[in-house]
Homo-oligomer: A and B are copies of this chain.
């Protein structure tokens, strides 16, 4: 079992990583006998995990209710959030309840924001079931729902009480979702850890084959990097923004194409190539480095060009709604080499447009 701590003073919390965690009620610390809890999951995952997790918790004396949401990014909305509040109030659940987010990023983000907002804040536990959420969204306390005019525009910084990563979940994960998670994994290498990027070049096949040892190391290393960044900059005033490599472009793809058509990791993968091309045009990243990024993403089964139906001009209106925009000026995370990156202001829009054009599919 791997265990990491996200260090945030009295809001510090553990991330536990192992196979078989769902069989042990101790995994769901700090829940204890007599506690009230609300399991939030979706229609796809409920038949797979819900009965098992409920059974383990109920055997441990936890009073468990459940709410099952429709599956998909398009349901990460204020109105679906409201159905969680309704479920909590109908029982009713009090301020000492605990929400359990059992699912991928959509469930984690929405449930986290529900926990942040219900009665102005109740406890919650992240139980991420996808690689993407295990290495990224379940750690760090960014919670949100989408607005039709922008992704993750409504939310809170709100830390979970613990994160439970059961590696067994990956066995039933569709290949496309596994690849989407690998996009965020590769991102950590590019922005902050050249050695990890090289390790990924060596072990990508093992990860794609779900080799247990390789996957446990990979997830632990990603969570370590994220935990360090979050501990240093919880509310994204600086360092934390680097975790957004590829996301400003990627969010534009997701918004333009309609949420859920491109998976988040797919959009980020194409976005990271656009960021690399932007950095190249600014003379701070080499063609060889871009080639390494493209090769690794391609091996992972990820797109390295934007959608055919999306022209460079289609990106900018979305990009200008990015949360990193300050004083009306776009700010982009750009690589300075493999394992090194910066948050950069004042990149000319024509450079951005040219870099996007460099990444148009033929």
Interface residues of A (CB under 8 A from B): 34, 78-79, 81-82, 85-86, 89-90, 92, 94-96, 113, 116-121, 142-144, 147-150, 153-157, 235, 320-321, 323-328
Contacts and interface: CB of A to CB of B under 8 A. Distances in A.
A326 B85 contact: no
A315 to B, nearest CB: 15
Contact of A156 (B120, B235, B321): B120
30 contacts: A34-B327, A78-B78, A78-B81, A85-B147, A85-B154, A86-B148, A89-B147, A89-B150, A89-B153, A92-B149, A92-B325, A94-B323, A94-B325, A94-B326, A94-B328, A95-B325, A96-B326, A113-B117, A117-B154, A118-B153, A119-B155, A119-B323, A120-B142, A120-B155, A120-B156, A120-B235, A121-B156, A121-B157, A121-B235, A156-B156
A236 B81 CA distance: 25
Copies of this chain in its oligomeric complex: 2
Nearest to A92: B321
A156 B116 contact: yes
Given A118-B154, A142-B120, A149 B86 contact: yes
A321 B147 contact: no
Contacts of A89: 147, 149-150, 153, 321
A189 to B, nearest CB: 26
A78, A90, A320 interface centre (most CB from chain B within 10 Å)? A78
Given A120-B142, A120-B144, A149-B86, A320 B156 contact: no
A79 B82 CA distance: 10
Of A81, A90, A147, the most chain B CB neighbours within 10 A belong to A147
A72 B131 CA distance: 46
Which of A85, A117, A323 has the most CB atoms of chain B within a 10 A radius of its CB? A117
A86 B148 CA distance: 8
Nearest to A114: B154
